[in-house]
């Protein structure tokens, strides 16, 4: 029987807008194909390894090519490229929550409380409940201190 699964691992990703000079520590290089209207490079690349390239008969496995608007993904120490629409279908940004909520989630998990404990102890509106549930299940980023 075929089942449907979802990815649960977190990744690091950056949308390329043409202004970045490096991605994940690799130098961004314009490729030789230029856009006829703007004079800007149509494609860019990063060289993953500084090993000698293979003969021209073989594709260069060490080079990753992309264009403006693509997402550059670092997943399990592998650099991949994904178009914007495909990226949005497969990945969602981790929720950003205030430090007190992060501490509460960690305390509840450490004490083996269920998620419902937070909902019964605090009077949360629907949006707050959804944010806390996403953070509990998928992970979160802590809001920057002001």
Whether 117 and 83 share a structural domain: no
- Tens of pLDDT, residues 8-23: 778 899 999 999 999 9
Same domain, 47 and 26: yes
| pLDDT confidence bin for 58, thresholds 50/70/90 | very low
The CA-based angle 23-92-72, given to 5 degrees, is 20
Q: Which range (44-58, 61-75, 114-128) has the least confidence?
A: 44-58
Compute the average pLDDT of residues 39-50.
Answer: 81
Residues 60 and 120 placed together within one structural domain of the fold = no
* Residue 2 falls inside a structural domain: no
Q: Is residue 6, in this structure, part of any structural domain at all? A: no
Q: Which domain holds residue 123?
A: 96-142
Residue 99's alpha-carbon distances to 103, 118, 135, 146, in angstroms, are 6, 15, 12, 11
pLDDT of 142 reads: 94
Pairing of strands 96-97, 141-142: parallel
H/E element, 109: helix 99-110
Same domain, 16 and 83: yes
pTM for the predicted model, two decimal places: 0.68
Instruction: Tell me if 131 is assigned to some domain.
Output: yes
Please indicate, yes or no, if residue 104 is contained in any of the structural domains: yes
State whether 17 and 85 are in the same domain. yes
Mean pLDDT value of segment 129-142: 93
What percent of the chain has a predicted confidence (pLDDT) above 70?
Answer: 90
Among 50, 68, 90, the domain boundary falls at: 90
Residue 51 has pLDDT above 90, yes or no: no
- Same domain, residue pair 85 and 100: no
Same domain? For 100 and 37 the reply is no
Tokens describing residue 64: 């990753």
Q: Is residue 41 part of a domain?
A: yes
The predicted model gives 65-80 an average pLDDT of 90
- Whether 34 and 84 share a structural domain: yes
pLDDT for 61: 58
Please give the residue that has the higher pLDDT: either 53 or 125. Answer: 125
What count of other Cβ atoms lies within 10 Å of the Cβ of residue 71? 20
Are 29 and 78 found together in one domain? yes
Domain-ending residue, one of 72, 90, 108 = 90
pLDDT, mean over the chain: 85
């Amino acid at each position: 029987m075929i089942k449907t699964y979802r990815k649960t691992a977190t990744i690091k990703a950056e949308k390329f807008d043409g202004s970045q000079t490096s991605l994940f520590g690799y130098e961004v290089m314009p490729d030789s194909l230029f856009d006829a209207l703007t004079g800007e490079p149509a494609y860019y690349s990063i060289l993953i390894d500084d090993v000698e390239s293979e003969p021209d008969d073989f594709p260069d496995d060490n080079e990753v090519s992309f264009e403006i608007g693509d997402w550059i993904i670092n997943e399990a120490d592998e650099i991949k490229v994904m178009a914007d629409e495909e990226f949005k279908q497969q990945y969602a940004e981790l929720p950003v929550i205030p430090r007190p909520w992060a501490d509460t989630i960690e305390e509840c998990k450490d004490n083996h409380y269920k998620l419902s404990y937070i909902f019964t102890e605090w009077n949360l509106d629907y949006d707050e409940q959804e944010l806390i549930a996403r953070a509990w299940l998928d992970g979160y980023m802590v809001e920057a201190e002001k």
